[in-house]
Amino acid sequence: MKSRLFLLWTTLVLAIATYGEKRDIHILATNDMHASISNFPQLAAIVDSLRAIDPALLVFSAGDNRTGDPLNDKYVIPAYPIVAMMNIVGFNASALGNHEFDSGSLPRIIGMSGFRYLCANIIADDSTGVKTVPYQVFDVGGLKVGVVGAIQVGPKGIPASHPDNLRGIRFVQAEDVLGQYEWMSRECDATILLSHLGYETDTLMAERFPWIDAIIGGHTHKQLQADEPRHGPSGVLVTQCKNSLSRVAYITLTVDGGHVVDKRVEYISVKDFGRKNPVVEALLDNVCNDPKFSRVIARAETSFGVKEELGCLMCDAYIDAFGTDFALANPGGVRLGNLPAGDITVLDALKLDPFDNQTVIMTLTGRQLYDLVLSICQRRMYSFPYVGGMLCELTADKDDPKMIGSVKLMTPDGKPLKKNRRYRLATNNYVSSTNKVEGIERETKDMLTNDLLIQYLEKQQTVSYKGVRRLSYKK
Domain count within the chain: 2
Domain identity same for 172 and 263: yes
Structural domain range at position 445: 293-474
Domain identity same for 89 and 219: yes
Q: What was the pLDDT predicted at 156?
A: 87
Q: pTM of the prediction?
A: 0.84
Question: Which residues are paired to 268 by β-bridges?
Answer: 248
Q: What is the DSSP letter of 339?
A: B
Q: Is the dihedral of CA 366, 371, 377, 381 positive or negative?
A: positive
User: At 251, which CATH number?
Assistant: 3.60.21.10
Domain boundary among 288, 312, 345: 288
Domain boundary among 243, 269, 288: 288
Distance CA 74, CA 104 (A): 13
Domain identity same for 322 and 460: yes
Contact by Cβ (8 Å): 333, 428: yes
pLDDT per residue, tens digit, the chain (475 aa), is: 334 334 434 433 334 344 458 999 999 999 999 999 999 999 999 999 999 999 999 999 999 999 999 999 999 899 999 999 999 999 999 999 999 999 888 999 999 999 999 999 999 999 999 999 999 999 999 999 999 999 999 988 999 998 999 999 999 999 999 999 999 999 999 999 999 999 999 999 999 999 999 999 999 999 999 999 999 999 999 999 999 999 999 999 999 999 999 999 999 999 999 999 999 999 999 999 889 999 999 999 999 999 999 999 999 999 999 999 999 999 999 999 999 999 999 999 999 999 999 999 999 999 999 999 999 999 999 999 999 999 999 999 999 999 999 999 999 999 999 999 999 999 999 999 999 899 999 999 999 999 999 999 999 999 999 999 999 999 8
Q: What was the pLDDT predicted at 324?
A: 98
Q: Where are the alpha helices (DSSP H) in 233-306?
A: 278-288
Domain identity same for 275 and 303: no
- Domain assignment present for 5: no
Domain identity same for 83 and 200: yes
Domain identity same for 92 and 216: yes
Domain identity same for 262 and 396: no
- Domain assignment present for 69: yes
Q: What is the DSSP letter of 180?
A: G
Helix axes 80-89, 40-53, angle to 10 degrees: 20
Domain identity same for 306 and 420: yes
What one-letter code names the amino acid at 324?
T
What one-letter code names the amino acid at 433?
S
Domain identity same for 231 and 310: no
- Measuring CA to CA, which residue among 45, 58, 70 is closest to residue 250? 58
> Number of H helices and number of E strands within the chain?
13, 24
- Domain assignment present for 7: no
* Element at 149 (helix H, strand E): strand 143-151
Domain identity same for 268 and 400: no
Domain identity same for 354 and 224: no
Domain boundary among 288, 304, 323: 288
Domain identity same for 281 and 374: no
